[in-house]
Chains A and B, each alone.
Chain A
Amino acid sequence: MSRPPPAIPVAEVRFGERLSRRGQWLRAAWTSGPAVLWLTLFLLLPLAGIGVISFLSRGDDGELLRPFTTENYRRLAGFGLLGFDPLYPVILLRSLLLGAGTAAVCVLAALPLAFFIARLPGRWKNFALTLVVIPFWTNLLIRTYAWQILLAPESFLSVLARRLGLLAADGALYPGLFAVAVGMACDFLPFLVLPLYTSVEKLDWTLAEAAADLGANRWQVFRHALLPQIRPGLTAGLILVFLPATGQFVIPDLLGGAKTAMLGNVIQQQFGQSRDWPFGSALAVTALALVLAGLWVNARRAGNRAPEAWL
């Protein structure tokens, strides 16, 4: 048994520079330091703050009161002062379902679009991609309220839906769950097309040809030869849609009614009319926990660097 040689404090050579450990720290301090300080102050501290406040309770004038209590989380889980009340669990579930539904619809829509763009000849490809990116950069509020006009009771689409018997005679597509779903799909579609396109462009089509030669039908070719190759892009895109969609506030607020309130809307309510900051904080902490859980699952899957992949 030979002992490992004693560690000699050798300065590392990186990027043509030799820096002692102290030198490294000094450089790190003045490069990363300011931003680390900023984010600690204005991101970590406020997030920790709502964590603490979520365990306080609300006074009659909306002031924050001690002692510490888990009351807010109990209320969120449905165990209020007056027995079981499913209001908040239902809202939570609705947010998750709407987030998942949006992600599913966006996948179904983004797949053909990504394949279409990837198979276009060079110059058209850039043009088609630019057309996807433009709505992505266009203000969400504008694209959302526009659906109020497009789906209003007297709009062409609502009239058509009534003629076809899809709507009651006095029905309208807006406001309601349908309008929220349309607004969400429209907003999040580019988020999925971009990472999916990156995967589709790198596809090895010889695998699809081989599968077809070996007698696979179209679905089998897609399922076994193509899908495994685009899975990284698909997962990155799904997370990119599901997580922010769950906490969306503007779209349900502008396109839905009282019956389509989501997590984001109830959070806003607690900081607006209700002025119940501790309960609002508990709701926000829940939304945050959801995202962190999602990111954690994502990070555990090897080889995925979601944000860098598409930015």
Chain B
Amino acid sequence: MNRSRLLMPAALALYAFLYAPIAVVIVFSFNAATHGAGWTGFTTAWYAKLFANEAALQAGKNTLWLALASTAIATVLGTLLGYGLSRYRFPGQRAFAQLLQVPVFIPDIVLAVALLLFFSTLREHLTFFAPGLLTMVLAHVTFQIPFVAIVVRARLAGLDPALEEAARDLGASAAQTFWRVTFPLLLPGVIAGAMLAFTLSLDDFVVSFFTSGPGSTTLPILIYSSVKRGLTPEINALSTLIVLASVLGTVTVLFFQRVRRGG
């Protein structure tokens, strides 16, 4: 146990390291100073200013719309893929399962520039691919599908095949077995996958940046360009709200995972 006592200071220092950036953003969002690192008093003025900022509100709307639309598509496609890959064989299935790892690991910027070139090439023939929320949805779904499929597959791998066999033996049809037995068991995995996809979309900056158009700025793009121009306290207020949302999101996801493990 004395080793634990030695580990404690190291662990606390590491937690401080992980939380220092988050803390400083929250603290500075209430700092009256416009510039610099000094504390000059408490204010909530930056929040008021933020909520009056049309561009920020529009960016928030874009971010949510993009995340909801892409997550809906990716959850359906990813769940079907996760199910299909573990249940039915098709030529090239092995290679495809391997390929799923690629978007998980490639630097965002590689996918981002590949899609930028792809869309701009298509645009020469089809105006449909004008940079904007539509191309961004296409891009986000692309990196979300593998994550959803991986989570759903992992969930399926942990299911007892005897449950479905029993259902069929007792006379249930294929569809009945799927909707009454398989899908309810799969659901926690689907929800976890969807939440993961949703967060990935909300957080994404690089892929969005390269596939966005004039009217489709998202919150991460807004933060990036503000930071590039020079930080304003308003951005700290915006970031604080985003951090709060992430904390709530994380706790919800972990809650579902616990339910998953328990049930």
Across the interface, A28 reaches (CB within 8 A) one of B90, B121, B224, B235, namely B90
Residue from A53, A116, A148, A264 whose CB has the most chain B CB atoms within 10 Å: A116
A38 touches B113 (CB 8 A): no
- The CA of A287 and the CA of B114, in the complex, are separated in Å by 12
- How extensive is the interface on chain A, given as a class? 35 or more
Which residues of chain A come closer than 8 Å to B165, judged between CB atoms? 15-16
Residue from A53, A135, A267, A295 whose CB has the most chain B CB atoms within 10 Å: A135
Which residues of chain A come closer than 8 Å to B96, judged between CB atoms? 32, 36
Nearest-CB residue, chain A, relative to B120: A277
Which residues of chain B come closer than 8 Å to A47, judged between CB atoms? 110-111, 114
Across the interface, B22 reaches (CB within 8 A) one of A146, A155, A244, A306, namely A146
A143 within 8 A of B: yes
- The CA of A145 and the CA of B199, in the complex, are separated in Å by 20
A69 within 8 A of B: no
A150 touches B24 (CB 8 A): yes
B251 touches A141 (CB 8 A): no
Which residues of chain A come closer than 8 Å to B161, judged between CB atoms? 14-16
The minimal Cβ–Cβ distance linking A123 to chain B, given in whole angstroms, is: 12
Across the interface, B81 reaches (CB within 8 A) one of A25, A31, A138, A150, namely A31
Across the interface, A246 reaches (CB within 8 A) one of B107, B153, B196, B249, namely B107
Stretch binding the partner chain, chosen from A86-94, A162-170, A247-255: A247-255
Which residues of chain B come closer than 8 Å to A138, judged between CB atoms? 22, 242-243, 246-247
B206 touches A154 (CB 8 A): no
Given known pairs A50-B117, A119-B4, the reply for A284 and B89 (CB within 8 Å) is no
Interface string of B109-131 (1 = CB under 8 A from A): 11101111110010000000000
Chain A, interface SS category: helix
- The CA of A81 and the CA of B8, in the complex, are separated in Å by 57
Which residues of chain B come closer than 8 Å to A207, judged between CB atoms? none
Interface string of A258-282 (1 = CB under 8 A from B): 0000011001100100000100110
A130-186, CB < 8 A from B: 130-150, 152, 154-156, 185-186
Which residues of chain A come closer than 8 Å to B7, judged between CB atoms? 112, 115-116, 119
B44 within 8 A of A: no
- The CA of A71 and the CA of B60, in the complex, are separated in Å by 43
B37 touches A154 (CB 8 A): yes
- The CA of A17 and the CA of B177, in the complex, are separated in Å by 10
Across the interface, A295 reaches (CB within 8 A) one of B28, B101, B246, namely B101
- The CA of A130 and the CA of B220, in the complex, are separated in Å by 24
Across the interface, B88 reaches (CB within 8 A) one of A31, A254, A288, namely A31
Interface string of B58-102 (1 = CB under 8 A from A): 000000000000000000011011011101111001001011011
Nearest-CB residue, chain B, relative to A34: B77
A104 within 8 A of B: no
B249 touches A137 (CB 8 A): yes
Nearest-CB residue, chain B, relative to A21: B89
Which residues of chain B come closer than 8 Å to A149, judged between CB atoms? 24-25, 28, 37, 231
Which residues of chain A come closer than 8 Å to B78, judged between CB atoms? 35
Given known pairs A130-B254, A135-B22, A277-B117, the reply for A141 and B153 (CB within 8 Å) is no
The minimal Cβ–Cβ distance linking B82 to chain A, given in whole angstroms, is: 9
> Could you jot down 16 A-B contacts, CB within 8 Å?
A15-B87, A32-B84, A38-B77, A43-B142, A138-B242, A140-B205, A141-B220, A141-B223, A142-B243, A146-B24, A150-B20, A154-B36, A249-B206, A271-B113, A284-B114, A307-B101
Other than the given A47-B110, A263-B107, 5 more pairs (CB < 8 A) read A136-B250, A137-B249, A243-B107, A277-B117, A306-B101
